[in-house]
Amino acid sequence: MILKAALIGNPIIRAQAQSLEPSEITLPQTQRLIDDMIKTMHEYDGVGIAANQVHIGKRIAILEVSDAHPRYPSAPKISLQVLINPEIIEYGKKIVADWEGCLSVPGLRGQVPRSVEIRVRALDRDGNRVEFTADDFHARIIQHECDHLNGRVYLDRMNDLKTLSFLDEYRRYAQSGK
User: What sign for the dihedral angle of Cα 132, 136, 139, 145?
Assistant: negative
Q: How far is CA 76 from the centre of its chain?
A: 16
- How far is 73 from 157, CA to CA, in rounded Å? 25
Reduce the DSSP state of residue 42 to 3 states and report it: helix
Q: Which of 64, 100, 145, 169 is catalytic?
A: 145
Whether residue 145 lies in the annotated active site: yes
- How far is 149 from 42, CA to CA, in rounded Å? 20
Q: Tell me which residues are annotated as active site.
A: 145
